[in-house]
Amino acid sequence: MIEKKKSLKKNMPSRRKFFKAAAATGAAATAAVAMPNLALGDGHVTLKMQAAWPSGANIFFEMAGDYCKMVSDMSGGSLKIDLQPVGSVVKTSEIGAAVSDGNLDMGHWVTAYWYGKNPAASLFGTGPSYGMSSQEVMGWMEYGGGRKLYDETLAKVGFDYLGFFHMPMPAQPFGWFKKNVTKVSDVKGMKYRTVGLATNVLTAMGMVVRQLPGGEIQPAMKTGLIDAAEFNNPTSDSQFGMQDVSKHYHLGSFHQSQEMFEIPVNKKRYNSLSPAHQAILKNAAYAANSDNYFKALVRYSADLAKLMNEHKVNVYQTSDEILAEQLKGWDKIVAEFSGKDPFFKKIIESQKAYAKRTMKYLLMNQPNYKLAYENEFGPIGKVKI
């Protein structure tokens, strides 16, 4: 019995050793809390983002919110984004500079909105098609050399941020007209709203192009400041009330056959985050990329049906004659800008090389989906939805 007590005493740590070990453990825990690269030490971070879209009934603001929610969910609430609508801190045209300067941590817009600083900006979304949809342009960004060229373009215009992209937008409609337009002569001299390089392309077609913010489009057409306009899709267009100023809606156009959202992030703020939070900002964009596209197909098609059935809007596919003239416009503008700017030409050549290879495979491999659709539902122009 005595021997057993001695053995227990021998194996028990002294009070001095116990408190020394406890102190060491506490110091280690404190160090862990102080280290910014550990999740334990990040605490709760909130980043301030301003979108280029109004709040309320606006699907683009909703999609920006989807991204913010994914960031919060992925981080377990430790990383949040305070999303603000257009104009809450700066004007839309000032978002890039505000993010670069740190007045905003993040933004949500499209590269065409800084086209005025360098026309090459428009190539990262609203450039020539070469057969590519938005999905393929995003593939070029990530796997075809586009990301490096995008970073070079940011440096050229003085933007000090990094960017993420999401939501490969379907081809944008040619838009809203006062009558059905089928010939190039129908649109020549027409006062028309668009943005980015599309302004140059449609000017080359003989249209008189004016760049207006989204919220000014419907009033401008109502008052006659413009004769025709496009914004983006049936949902956004109906939210602007375009069906109240026109009953002729032309879908599918090469003036902006692809586009996607750009999320600029201040570099200093981004570098202050933990690797986990940095990864979440990046990968949430990929997640939103798929989710927003799925949502768009459901919402855009449902709202197109409402425009046709409830508002009696006449919906057309843009004629091949006008599409062919748009492609000629692209050829003219690309040649002009490439001749003046070797860097612009460098981006174009990169896109062409990617499109030539990948689209040959994709276009030859895809069956005629329209044939399958019409086999089931009948001629696409006569299908009621």
Residue 294's alpha-carbon distances to 17, 39, 201, 260, 291, in angstroms, are 61, 32, 30, 14, 5
Q: Write the pLDDT tens digit of every residue in 307-356.
A: 999 999 999 999 999 999 999 999 999 999 999 999 999 999 999 999 99
Beta carbons of 234 and 169 less than 8 angstroms apart: no
Q: How far apart are CA 67 and CA 378, in angstroms?
A: 38
Which pLDDT belongs to residue 381?
Answer: 87
Q: Write the pLDDT tens digit of every residue in 138-153.
A: 999 999 999 999 999 9
Give burial (CB, 10 Å; 0-12/13-18/19+) of 142: exposed
Q: How far apart are CA 324 and CA 342, in angstroms?
A: 27
Enter the tokens of residue 88.
């809450």
Report phi then psi at 25, rounded to 5. -65, -45
Res 18 pLDDT > 80:
no
Q: Write the pLDDT tens digit of every residue in 177-201.
A: 999 999 999 999 999 999 888 999 9
What is this structure's pTM?
0.85
Res 125 pLDDT > 60:
yes
The rounded mean pLDDT for the chain is 89
Enter the tokens of residue 227.
């004769």
Least confident of 29-33, 187-191, 237-241, 248-252: 29-33
pLDDT tier at 6 (50, 70, 90 boundaries)? very low
Residue type, position 130, single letter: Y
Domains of the chain: 42-169+259-297 (3.40.190.170), 172-255+314-340 (3.40.190.10)
